[in-house]
Amino acid sequence: MKENILVINPGSTSTKIAIFNQEGKEIFKETISHSTEELSQFKSLLEQGPVRKKIILDTLAKKNIDTYSIKAVIGRGGILKPLEAGTYTVNDKLIEDLKNSPIEHASNLGGIIACEIAEEIGVPAYIADPVSVDEFTDIARVSGLKGIERKSLLHALNIRANAFRYAKEQGKRLEELNLIVAHLGGGISIAPLEKGKIVDVNNANDGGPFSPERTGTLPNKALIHLCYSGKYSEKELIKLITHQGGLVSYLGTNDLREVMKIIDERDNYAQLIFEAMCYQIAKEIGAMATVLKGEVEAIILTGGIAHNEILVNKIKERAGWIAPVVVYPGEEEMKALAQAVIRVINGVEKAKTYS
């Protein structure tokens, strides 16, 4: 009997797989590691697909998991063109765009491998809520300089999964609610959801609060001077603002637990930087509340650093007057992908067609 869901989440040096039943209970999970030696034989990421697929099927066989018990396969969404949030049936056009994505990223293999395995066992394949989800209103796209448009790029999978979680707990449909969801991780995405749609967000690579690794919004003139200083190439500057900014720049670590240890040693500078990050997160939440004209049912904090109670409390101090603050710490990508398929199976959402 086909009753299980296979979830596939490729990373740069690993492939995570899991089996969930239709009630959302995890039956099996495993992280398959790929050595540098193993991957170095391939000229491109796409060439790794067949090998990763074989390892997945071999792993399932070793664990005595019958592939014919699988009702659907879902892969992590890759770098696709802007699209509405939701769960998409993998079709030829989606595969073509994943293979020809301008950015080579391991997640591009998710839909491809899911489709190949699904075809072999005669079930549908899906992806859900990739980072390129774009439901911006026209007014949200205007940047302030003609020729430059604000882009939607966000942690859509975790944001939507937790919005659905809140709606279910309240006995409501997501389409009834106005929410602000803040994904707080190595990068930070803060999104207002208007009747379920993500109508704005700070692009975590371009602006918003600084985070453990990213600079967030910077003063324009100072950034321009840095660009022309001769100290950095374009590639180095992009790396600086997306991987070497934020806590890494100020304190030399992206680990908030290490930051708290430094603060415990009565380091006033570390305390200032930590509080500044909390301040900027709360300020961005406040800005997104104006997008919803103050009609906000709840503010949801999620992601890895939402485990930090001190950070959560400092955000509540500044933004808690807007709406009740709900905390769902961590990021459960595998569960979120499984739930996306379950919503389709149960008729909560309809699978969308990629075109």
Is the alpha carbon torsion for 200, 206, 208, 213 positive or negative? positive
Question: What domain range includes position 340?
Answer: 4-130+334-353
Same domain, 291 and 347: no
With a pLDDT cut of 70, the percent of the chain lying above it is 100
For residue 312, what pLDDT band results from cuts at 50, 70 and 90? Answer: very high
pLDDT in tens, 62-76: 999 999 899 999 999
Locate all alpha helices (DSSP H) within 130-267, ordered by sequence.
Answer: 138-141, 156-169, 220-227, 234-243, 246-251, 256-264
User: Considering the domain boundaries, does residue 26 fall inside one?
Assistant: yes
Q: Look up residue 210 and give its two tokens.
A: 């600084």
pLDDT of residue 35 exceeding 90, the answer is no
Pairing relation of β-strands 298-303 and 178-184?
parallel
- Let me know whether 121 and 162 are in one domain: no
Q: How far apart are CA 79 and CA 87, in angstroms?
A: 15
Among the residues of the chain, which ranges form H helices? 36-40, 49-62, 92-99, 108-121, 138-141, 156-169, 220-227, 234-243, 246-251, 256-264, 268-291, 309-319, 333-345
What are the distances in angstroms from CA 328 to CA 131, 164, 165, 282, 299?
Answer: 20, 12, 9, 17, 11
* pLDDT of 178 above 90: yes
Q: Is the pLDDT reported for residue 57 higher than 80? A: yes
Please report the pLDDT score of residue 11 as a whole number: 87
In the numeric block, the tokens 């918003």 are attached to 208
SS3 55: helix
Collect all residues with Cβ–Cβ distance below 8 Å to 234 and sequence separation of at least 6: none
- The residue-averaged pLDDT of 128-141 equals 96
Give pLDDT, residue 210. 98
Residue linked to tokens 């190949």:
116
Q: In this structure, are 61 and 102 located in the same domain?
A: yes
Does a structural domain hold residue 49? yes
pTM: 0.92
For 241-255, what is the mean pLDDT?
A: 96
C-alpha torsion sign, points 251, 256, 261, 265: positive
Structure tokens at 112: 């491809």
**Coil, helix or strand at residue 2:** coil
In a domain, 90, yes or no: yes
pLDDT at 194: 99
Considering the domain boundaries, does residue 189 fall inside one? yes
Q: Are residues 316 and 341 in the same domain?
A: no
Cα separation, 192 vs 76, in Å, equals: 23
Indicate the DSSP class of residue 354: P
178 and 321: one domain? Answer: yes
Write down the pLDDT at residue 45. Answer: 87
Same structural domain, 180 and 295: yes
Same domain? For 86 and 196 the reply is no
Distance CA 162, CA 314 (A): 21
pLDDT tops 80 at residue 1: no
In a domain, 272, yes or no: yes
Is 236 in contact with 186 (CB distance < 8 Å)?
no
- Same domain flag for 339 and 257: no
CATH of the domain at 124: 3.30.420.40
Residue-wise over 181-214: b if at least 16 C-beta within 10 A, else e? bbbbbbbbbbbbbbebbbbbbbebbbbbbbbbbb
Residues 325 and 349 reside in one and the same domain:
no
188-194 and 178-184 strand pairing: antiparallel
204's CB contacts (< 8 A; 6+ apart) are 153, 154, 155, 187, 188, 189, 211, 214
Give yes or no: residues 246 and 106 share one domain: no
CA distance 216 to 210: 4
Whether residue 104 is predicted with pLDDT greater than 90 in this model: the reply is no
Q: Give the residue among 123, 100, 156, 130 at the shortest CA–CA distance from 10.
A: 130
As a whole number, mean pLDDT of residues 299-328 equals 98
Residue 42 confidence (pLDDT): 87
Residue 48 has pLDDT above 90, yes or no: yes
Report which DSSP code applies to 233. -
Do 25 and 174 share a domain, yes or no?
no
Query: Residue with structure tokens 């939701």?
Result: 86
58 and 12 within one domain:
yes
Rounded mean pLDDT of 43-56? 92
pLDDT in tens, 204-233: 899 999 999 999 999 999 999 999 999 999
